[in-house]
Amino acid sequence: MLKKNDIRIRDPFILPDSKTKTYYLYGTTDENVWKGKGTGFNVYKSKDLENWEGPYSAFRPAESFWADHHFWAPEVHLYNEKYYMFASFKAENQCRGTQVLIADQPQGPFTPLTDEPITPRNWECLDGTLYVDDTEQPWLIFCHEWLQVQDGEICVIKLSKDLRTAISDPVLLFKASEAKWTVPAHDQNYVTDGPFLYQTKKGELLMLWSSGGKNGYAIGVSYSQTGNITGPWIHHEQELFQKDGGHGMLFHTFDGQLMLTIHSPNQTPNERPEFFQMKEDINGLIKKEANNHTGKY
């Protein structure tokens, strides 16, 4: 069995599988995160968020797969009784994009749903996440990278019900510099990373996303004024997580506790998954305490 400090991972994503009462942990798991040929994605599983089994192979590319490096930030959603992985990939002389993959079970193996990414092929894109609205319409929320636009953007496209194609043009939701907590990096460019959608008990639609803050890599929270994915989006002035950790997502444990997972620190190769208990508040989400419990969830 592994503890969380034994697992090197960036961009952690938890899928609680109610069928087996098992938590599946996905993320950027290649040893060569930034350089060299991509290997694929591993997955870990746990019954209590403390003791982990793995790694297991969730995805390994076929020789014909279009991308060969920067295999980043997989997340897995149960949708129409199948498991769909959304992940970022890159190839030489091709723009980075979000590819959709599919499997019959959360451990995989995942295979590409289509031959190409679902994000615009002439855009540098990453960190696509799935959101299904109240009408059961699926959307892809993703980052248009600062590498191409300087002031990183978060955009949305409408997807076909089978998740194979985009059926609308991209819509710009906001730019990184619009939030008061962000600071520029990379020669005065603003970063957008890791959007994740969460609907509160009161029906408010929130978005977690990461950028550079005054104390390093950080997570902010924005909310839709209309409750719709197209916004307009308003940004909380203070970060949710302020220092040296980011790319967060929210999930509920099997006993109903709301949890945040992030990677921290943000330095390779020291990244580890971290868990925090959360609660909903009239003003948004409030971090409670580090997950140092001894009981099982």
pLDDT tens, position by position, 272-292: 999 999 998 876 676 665 544
* Domain coverage including residue 139: 4-290
What radius of gyration do the chain's Cα atoms show? 18
Q: Which pLDDT does position 295 carry in this prediction? A: 37
Is residue 214 included in any domain, yes or no? yes
Q: Which pLDDT does position 157 carry in this prediction? A: 98
Query: Which parts of the chain fold into alpha helices (H)?
Result: 146-149
Is residue 110 included in any domain, yes or no? yes
Q: Which pLDDT does position 288 carry in this prediction? A: 67
Is residue 212 included in any domain, yes or no? yes
The CATH number linked to 197 is 2.115.10.20
Is residue 295 included in any domain, yes or no? no
Q: Which pLDDT does position 289 carry in this prediction? A: 58
Q: Which pLDDT does position 290 carry in this prediction? A: 52
Is residue 297 included in any domain, yes or no? no
Is residue 31 included in any domain, yes or no? yes
CA distance 227 to 113: 30
Please state the rounded mean pLDDT for residues 205-227.
Answer: 96
Tens digits of per-residue pLDDT, 105-142?
Answer: 999 999 999 999 999 999 999 999 999 999 999 999 99
Is residue 254 included in any domain, yes or no? yes
Q: Which pLDDT does position 187 carry in this prediction? A: 84
Q: How far is CA 23 from CA 37, 51, 64, 253, 274, in A?
A: 29, 11, 31, 9, 14
Number of domains in the chain: 1
Is residue 251 included in any domain, yes or no? yes
CA distance 231 to 11: 25
